[in-house]
A = this chain, B = another copy of it.
Amino acid sequence: MLKLNCDIGESFGIWKLGEDEKIMPLIDMANIACGFHASDPLNMTKTILLAKRFNVEIGAHPSYQDLVGFGRRSIPYSKDELKAIILYQIGALRAIANANGVDISYIKPHGALYNDMMKSLDIFMAINEAIYSYDKKLSLMILSTSKNSEFERISKVKLIFEAFADRAYSSDGFLVARSKKGSVIKDKNKVIKRVRDLVKRGVIYDINNKELKLKVDSLCVHGDNEEALSLVKVIKDVLDEI
C-alpha cells in the first residue's frame, strides 16, 4: 500500500502555516518539523497530539538551522556538526512524542538538507550514520530515483522511497528543478492519472513521456491550502478504490 506523507507542524510561535488540522486525517505519515526550519517545542507538542489523535505515523523532519530561510538555503556543515544537528532534532521530537504516549519511526530531512542529501553521498551517509548510531530501527525517507539500489546498497538503515505526483521527472529519474518550466504539474486530472499509473503499474512518466520504473513506498502530499487539500482527498480516493 502506498502511504501518503506530508510535511506538517511548520507553524512557528504565533505564525500559522498549513492546514494541519485538515490534512492530518487524510495522511498516513506526518513529517514533523523540529524547530530548526520551523516550529518550536509548544507547536511540536500540538502537532504530536494531532498525529496521535488521527493515529498517524510520526517522522522527524530535521533541517539545517535556518528559521528565517525556512531551511531552504544550503548551509555547509562539517560531518560531525551535521550528525549532531540531526540527532539533536530527532531526540527533541522523540522526547515530546514519548511524553505524549507515541513514538517516531522514521526521519525525513527537510528542504535544502533533503536536496543536498540526494546530491551528496557524504551528506547522505552523515544522516544515515547519525540515525544508525542512535536507533537502528528508525528508517530514512529519501526521494525515489534511478539510484535507489545504489542508496540501498550503502545505507545502514531501512530506506523509505517517496515520490511526488505533482512534480515532473527528468529522464534520469530525478525531479525537474522547480525553477524550470513544467516542473510542477498543476492539472489535477494529470496528477490523478500519475497516481494511478504509479499505484497500478508502478511507473512514473518522465518529462519526455518515457516510463520510469521506480520503487515507491510513499507519496508526498501538501496541506498548504484548500486546493492542496482537495487534491489530497482525490488522491486518497484513488488509493482507496484500488
Seen from chain A, the residues whose Cβ lies within 8 Å of a Cβ on chain B are 11-17, 35, 40-42, 44-45, 65-70, 73-78, 80-81, 83-85, 87-96, 98-100, 130, 133-135
Contact = CB atoms under 8 A, between A and B. Distances in A.
A74 B74 CA distance: 9
Given A92-B89, A94-B91, A99-B130, A74 B76 contact: yes
A51 B18 CA distance: 28
Given A75-B75, A95-B87, A99-B134, A80 B14 contact: no
Contacts of A66: 75
Given A74-B76, A76-B74, A95-B134, A45 B13 contact: no
A68 B96 contact: no
Contacts of A87: 41, 45, 92, 95-96, 99
9 contacts: A12-B15, A12-B67, A44-B84, A73-B76, A87-B96, A87-B99, A91-B94, A91-B95, A99-B133
Given A44-B84, A69-B13, A135 B90 contact: no
Nearest to A90: B95
Given A15-B15, A75-B75, A44 B88 contact: yes
Nearest to A45: B84
